Amino acid sequence: MMKKYFCAFLCFLSLAIILSGCFRPGPLQTTNTPTAAALPTSVGRLRINEIQGAQHRSPYDGKSISGVEGIVTAITGSGFYLQDSLPDTDEGTSEALFVSASAFGNISVGDFIRIETAKVREYNPAGLGENPLTRTELFQVSYSVLSSGNPLPEPVVLGEAGRRIPNFTIENDVNGYAGRTGEFDPARDGLDFYESLEGMRVQVNDALAVSSTSSYKEVVVVADLGKDASVLSPRSVLVLRQEDANPERIILDDAFINMPAVQVGARFTQPIIGIMDYSYGNFKLQPTQKLRFEQGNNPPEAVAYEPLENELAFATYNVANFDPMVSPERLGALAEQIVFTLNSPDILALQEIQDDDGELDSAQTSASGNINRLIQKVKQFGGPEYKALAIDPLRNADGGVPGGNIRIVLLYREDRGLSLAAAPAGDASTPNQVLKKDGKPALSLNPGRVSPQAYAFRDSRKPLSAQFIFKGKDIFVIACHLNSKGEDGPLFGDQQPPPLISERQRLEQAREINAFVKKIMAVDPFAYVVVLGDLNDFQWSSPVMKLEEGALANLITLLPEHDRYTYNHEGNAQVLDHILVSLAFLKQLSHFDVVHINSEALPDARLSDHDPVYAVFKFE
107-121 residue pLDDT tens: 999 999 999 999 999
The reported pLDDT for the residue numbered 3 is 37
pLDDT in tens, 342-379: 999 999 999 999 999 999 999 999 999 999 999 999 99
Rg of the chain over CA atoms, in angstroms? 30
Give Cα separations from 546 to 316, 332, 375, 504, 606 (angstroms): 20, 38, 35, 12, 32
Rounded distance between C-alpha atoms, residue 558 and residue 375, angstroms? 32
Nearest to residue 585, comparing CAs of 470, 462, 507? 470
Q: Which domains does the chain have, with CATH numbers?
A: 44-153 (2.40.50.140), 156-294 (2.40.50), 311-618 (3.60.10.10)
Q: What is the pLDDT of residue 125?
A: 76
Phi, psi of 179 (to 5 degrees): -75, -10
Rounded mean pLDDT, 238-247: 98
> What per-residue confidence (pLDDT) applies to 183?
86
Report CA torsion sign: 491, 492, 497, 500: negative
Tens of pLDDT, residue by residue over 179-188, are 888 789 999 9
The confidence band for 103, taking pLDDT boundaries of 50, 70 and 90, is: confident
> Is 396 or 129 the better-scoring residue by pLDDT?
396
Share of residues in the chain with pLDDT > 70 (%): 92
Q: What is the pLDDT of residue 479?
A: 99
Give 111's contacts (C-beta < 8 A, 6+ positions apart): 71, 72, 145, 147, 148, 150
Nearest to 141 by CA among 70, 55, 92, 199: 70
Task: Report the C-alpha gap between 544 and 257 in whole angstroms.
Answer: 41
**pLDDT mean across residues, the chain:** 93
- Bond into 307 cis (ω within 30): no
Inform me whether the pLDDT recorded for 8 exceeds 80.
Answer: no
Question: What is the rounded average pLDDT of the residues 456-471?
Answer: 98
Q: What percent of the chain has pLDDT over 90?
A: 88
Could you give the angle at which helices 368-380 and 328-336 cross, rounded to 10 degrees? 50
Q: Residue 510, by phi and psi: left (phi above 0), alpha (psi -120 to 50) or beta?
A: alpha
- Using alpha carbons, select from 96, 243, 85, 267 the residue that is nearest to residue 169: 243
What is the rounded distance in angstroms from the CA atom of residue 358 to the CA atom of residue 400? 12
Is pLDDT at 39 greater than 60 in this prediction?
A: no
Beta-strand relationship, 250-252 and 282-287: parallel
Per residue in 63-98, pLDDT (tens digit) is 999 999 999 999 999 999 999 999 999 999 999 999
Task: Return phi, psi of residue 146, to 5°.
Answer: -90, -35
Assess whether pLDDT exceeds 90 at residue 143. yes
Are 257 and 226 within 8 A, CB to CB? no
Whether the pLDDT of residue 293 is over 70: the answer is: yes
pLDDT digit string, tens, across residues 296-311: 999 999 999 999 999 9
User: Are 453 and 429 spatial neighbours (Cβ–Cβ below 8 Å)?
Assistant: yes
Q: Which helix (H) or strand (E) holds 548?
A: helix 542-548
Q: What per-residue confidence (pLDDT) applies to 128?
A: 60
C-alpha of 380 from chain center: 37
CA angle 333, 337, 343 (to 5 degrees): 155
Q: What is the pLDDT at residue 16?
A: 39
State the pLDDT confidence band at 20, using cuts at 50, 70 and 90. Answer: very low
23: confidence class by pLDDT, cuts 50, 70, 90? very low
* Amino acid letter, residue 242: Q
pLDDT band for position 44 (cuts 50, 70, 90):
low
Q: Report the range of poorest mean pLDDT among 13-17, 60-64, 270-274, 312-316.
A: 13-17
Q: 67 and 42 in contact (C-beta within 8 Å)?
A: yes
Counting Cα atoms < 13 Å in the Cβ hemisphere of 95 gives 24
Q: Do 200 and 48 meet the contact criterion of CB atoms below 8 Å apart? A: no
Are 145 and 92 a contacting pair, CB within 8 Å?
no
pLDDT of residue 476: 99
Sign of the CA dihedral 351, 355, 357, 361?
negative
Residue 42, CA atoms < 13 Å, CB-side half-sphere = 15
500-557: pLDDT as tens digits? 999 999 999 999 999 999 999 999 999 999 999 999 999 999 999 999 999 999 999 9
Determine the Cα–Cα distance for residues 529 and 586; give it in Å rounded to an integer: 9
Residue 127: the pLDDT is: 67
Whole-number pLDDT of residue 17: 35
pLDDT band at 25 (very low <50, low <70, confident <90, very high): very low
* Contact (Cβ atoms closer than 8 angstroms) between residue 598 and residue 609: yes
Q: What is the pLDDT of residue 14?
A: 41
Question: CB neighbours (10 Å) of residue 25?
Answer: 8
pLDDT tops 80 at residue 605: yes
Mean pLDDT of 43-68: 93
> Taking the model in full, what pTM does it have?
0.91
- Whether the per-residue pLDDT at 266 is higher than 80: the answer is yes
CA terminus-to-terminus distance, the chain:
110
φ, ψ for residue 606, nearest 5 deg:
-135, 155
Q: Which stretches does DSSP call E strand in 257-346? A: 267-268, 272-279, 282-287, 293-294, 311-322
| pLDDT tens string 318-328 | 999 999 988 89
DSSP state of 373: H
Identity at 424, one-letter amino acid code: P
- H or E stretch including 375? helix 368-380
Contact 96, 71 (CB under 8 A): no
Quick one: 367 exposed, middle or buried, by C-beta within 10 A (0-12, 13-18, 19+)?
A: buried
Query: Which of the four pLDDT bands, split at 50, 70 and 90, describes residue 340?
Result: very high
Q: What is the mean pLDDT of residues 211-231?
A: 97
Quick one: pLDDT at residue 22?
34
